[in-house]
Amino acid sequence: MTAAAPKASRSWARAIGEIATAFLIVMAGKAALAEPFYVPSASMEPTLLIGDALLASKYPYGYGTASLPVNVTVPTSIRLFGKLPARGNVVVFRWPGDTSQAWVKRVVALPGDRVQMREGQLWLNGQAVPTRASGFGDAQNEDGGFTPAARYTEELPGGHSHIIFKLRTHGALDNTDEIVVPPDMLFVMGDNRDNSADSRVSVADGGVGLLPVENLIGRVDTVLGSWDIAARKKPIWEWPTGLRLSRMFSSVQ
């Protein structure tokens, strides 16, 4: 009977080792390849919806402390294999106001760009970014309700086009001063232009301000799945009806 004890101990040690190895593999994959994130707000509608589960690819912009699957604060961050996003990329990043929070916005201006909002239209380097009316849609609120929204197609320099929402004709962030994006900074915006605390809003006022490149986590390429939060108002057995099957494994433009 006593001879079995060492064998049992070895079995437990092996099991713990296998669990630890699996955990390290998963964490390494999240750090080096891609990481899932959840969308809790309406700031990127209609491109991203509340309840979307995203996959952010980390390799396109290189690796820094922001890429780690756990929040780490260090005085400086050296970015390995660093590369700037392209205008139009949807990115996940650590919010400068609290790096434990991951936010998602669209990159609209790069270092050296002159950027300004005039009467609700984006201007880059002295030129109005082309926009055209694309009908109407419904912007979902965090409580599950909907607000009518005008849809516009916006085409950034380089040819990237995407849909934006405008909830009102004269939004609070429709007019800004022209600024030059400093080195190692990005100007990001939400596609729901009247419901996004982005680079038009300072960090002190709850926005992103100019985003340091070192805060980038990755590029959003795919929606893994989605669940409509409006289903919370239904009986629990009807919650599966909130699954948005059409958004599963859909690409993000």
What is the side-by-side strand order in the sheet with 114-118?
127-128, 121-124, 114-118, 179-180
Known active-site residue 105: yes
Given the residues 105, 166, 196, 226, select the one marked as catalytic. Answer: 105
> What beta strand segments (E) does the chain contain?
34-38, 52-57, 90-94, 102-109, 114-118, 121-124, 127-128, 131-140, 146-155, 161-166, 179-180, 185-189, 211-212, 216-226, 250-251
CA distance 216 to 139: 27
Given the residues 43, 67, 196, 199, select the one marked as catalytic. Answer: 43
Known active-site residue 43: yes
Give me the active site residues, please: 43, 105
